[in-house]
Amino acid sequence: MAAKSSGGVVDLPGFFADLVRCETRLYNALNDRLRERHGIVTSQFEFLRFLRDRPGARVADLAAEFAVGVGATSKGVDRLEKQGWVVRQPNPSDRRSSLLALTDDGSQLVEAAEKTFVDGLAALIGDTLNDSSATAAVRAISKLRSALERNQIGTPAG
């Protein structure tokens, strides 16, 4: 199935396949680098980075950001907590939930891992896309993500 655009016909199934395969390969490559250098995987890094940038977030906030079920997200936070990178604190406005915070070790880890993450992305993507194609790709994917999120498409039920 193809869709028409102002520039002609776009192979949407091909675009989907390319998008998913690129995401999977980038994720796996970053996973390998982060595991080797910091003992964490990409999903852990992303959770830690989110919590660094949004102190006092809840498990539900992580789940919404990453479009993952609350149960799976809570288990991921449990693993971070077990490693001593995250703590759960009482939520003064809702006793049923906790506020999440990075520990000092978690903060140090995410700062160190961020360089590995950014350098890894630059190495994996940098030689493939020039400035204008990278800018166009970022805009297109950001616009698509915004539309999906605005319309709550692909949001897990639980």
Question: Does the pLDDT at position 4 exceed 90?
Answer: no
Question: Does the pLDDT at position 119 exceed 80?
Answer: yes
CB 13: neighbour CB atoms within 10 A?
10
pLDDT at position 137 is 87
pLDDT tens, 10-58?
889 999 999 999 999 999 999 999 999 999 999 999 999 999 999 999 9
In the chain the domains, ranked by start, together with CATH numbers, are 10-150 (1.10.10.10)
Binned at pLDDT 50, 70 and 90, residue 114 comes out as very high
CA dist 158 → 13, 17, 117, 144 (Å): 28, 26, 30, 23
Question: Does the pLDDT at position 111 exceed 60?
Answer: yes
Q: Could you tell me if 132 and 82 are in contact, meaning their C-beta atoms sit under 8 angstroms apart?
A: no
CA atoms of 34 and 99, how far apart (whole Å): 26
**C-alpha closest to that of 28 among 137, 124, 139, 152:** 124
How large a percentage of the chain has pLDDT more than 90?
Answer: 67
**Residue 87 has what DSSP assignment?**
E
pLDDT at position 126 is 82
pLDDT at position 99 is 96
pLDDT at position 134 is 82
CA atoms of 108 and 96, how far apart (whole Å): 29
CA atoms of 121 and 31, how far apart (whole Å): 11
Mean pLDDT of the chain: 91
